[in-house]
Structure formats: C-alpha cells, structure tokens
C-alpha cells in the first residue's frame, strides 16, 4: 500500500496506490497527518481497505499529486549524511550528525513548480530518503527505532548554496 494525496494545492484528499492503480480514499474520513500516524491510522486504513476496496473509486494517474503526508510539524534533516557528499562539497566528514530543519511550508507535490529565491546563483538539489516518523519518539535506540517508523518517501531537498556557504544562511 502506498499513500498519496491528490487534488488542488491546499485541498488535497487522501488516496492510495494499490496494484499500480490510483484510488480516492477520502471516504476513509482522515487525512494522512500527524494525528493519523500517531493514532494507529495505518492499521485503521488497512482495515478500511480490506472492507471497502471494491467501493474505492479509481482516479486518473494524470491527477495532481501533493505531498503524501499532510503538513507535519517539522522536517528534521541530517547534513552531509554520507561520506561521498562531504567529499564532493570539500567538507570535512562530520564527527556527529549535522542536524537542521526545513520549513514545512516548502512542502509541495512531486510535479509542482518550486520557487527559486531571487538572485539565486547556486541552487542545488538532492534526492533524499525521507523517513516518516509515526509516533512521538525520544531517545530511540537501534533495536527499537523501527517501531517509530511509519514509512518512507522520496524528498527533493533544495538549497541555495551561495546563501548557505558564502553568505550567512539558507
């Protein structure tokens, strides 16, 4: 099961991809937001699919897709998260994770236009693996970390490198 959200910007509805077909899941009655994930929403959604699958309406693959997750409270990023990236940017491999945040208002759908900052000279993009945390978690350790993961998606991370590295900010 893959989660999608579809429709006009800021009016997305929940949907699903099942067997490579897109379906409207708005009759489920919940968006895929933080409350959904932290309250066993994936289990409720699976039960809904099991009982209502034949009633789900297929939608066109040409329908606009939004972010698969409703606006989260935060996006936590790890900078220079692999050695080759540190080398290609001529940076020292960090001794501990470089943690920073991205604005949740910057989230958009996979084919939406993006806004490049005025006077941008060195806009860079990286395809990242996003980990969707499914419940409130503190001090997770390796043996139980997977208990907090609801799923994964691709994240297109954009940065203006001149602003970031040659000036004083992102």
The pLDDT, as a whole number, for residue 32 is 97
The average pLDDT across 140-145 equals 90
Share of the chain above pLDDT 90, in %: 63
The average pLDDT across 26-38 equals 96
Share of the chain above pLDDT 70, in %: 98
Comparison of pLDDT for 159 and 169, the residue scoring more = 159
The pLDDT, as a whole number, for residue 115 is 87
**Phi (first) and psi of residue 14, to 5 degrees:** -75, 145
Indicate the fold that domain 75-166 takes in CATH. Fumarylacetoacetate hydrolase; domain 2 (3.90.850)
Q: Binning pLDDT at 50, 70 and 90, where does residue 169 land?
A: low
Distance CA 18, CA 140 (A): 32
Does residue 159 have a pLDDT over 90?
A: no
Q: Binning pLDDT at 50, 70 and 90, where does residue 85 land?
A: confident
The pLDDT, as a whole number, for residue 91 is 84
Concatenate the DSSP letters of all residues of 82-103 into one string.
SHHHHHHTT-PPPSS-EEEEE-
Q: Binning pLDDT at 50, 70 and 90, where does residue 24 land?
A: very high
Q: What is the per-residue pLDDT across 88-142, written as a single tens digit (0 to 9) for each?
A: 878 888 899 889 999 999 899 999 999 888 888 889 888 999 999 998 888 989 9
Closest CA to 78 of 100, 94, 93: 100
Spell out the domain ranges in the chain: 2-59, 75-166
Contact 163, 170 (CB under 8 A): yes
pTM for this structure?
A: 0.86
Closest CA to 93 of 79, 75, 105, 103: 79
The average pLDDT across 65-87 equals 90
Comparison of pLDDT for 82 and 44, the residue scoring more = 44
The pLDDT, as a whole number, for residue 170 is 58
Distance CA 67, CA 85 (A): 26
């Amino acid at each position: 099961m893959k989660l999608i959200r579809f429709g006009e910007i800021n009016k997305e509805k929940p949907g699903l991809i099942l067997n490579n077909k897109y379906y409207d899941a708005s009759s489920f009655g919940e968006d895929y937001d933080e409350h959904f994930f932290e309250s066993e929403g994936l289990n409720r959604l699976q039960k809904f699919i099991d009982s209502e699958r034949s009633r789900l309406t297929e939608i066109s693959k040409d329908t606009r897709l939004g972010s698969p997750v409703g606006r989260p409270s935060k996006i936590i990023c790890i900078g220079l998260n692999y050695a080759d990236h540190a080398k290609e940017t001529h940076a020292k491999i960090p001794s501990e994770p470089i943690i920073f945040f991205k604005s949740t208002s910057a989230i958009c759908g996979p084919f939406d236009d993006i806004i490049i900052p005025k006077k941008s000279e060195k806009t860079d993009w990286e395809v990242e693996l996003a980990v969707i945390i499914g419940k409130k978690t503190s001090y997770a350790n390796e043996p139980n970390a997977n208990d907090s993961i609801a799923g994964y998606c691709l994240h297109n991370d954009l940065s203006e490198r001149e602003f970031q590295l040659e000036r004083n900010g992102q």
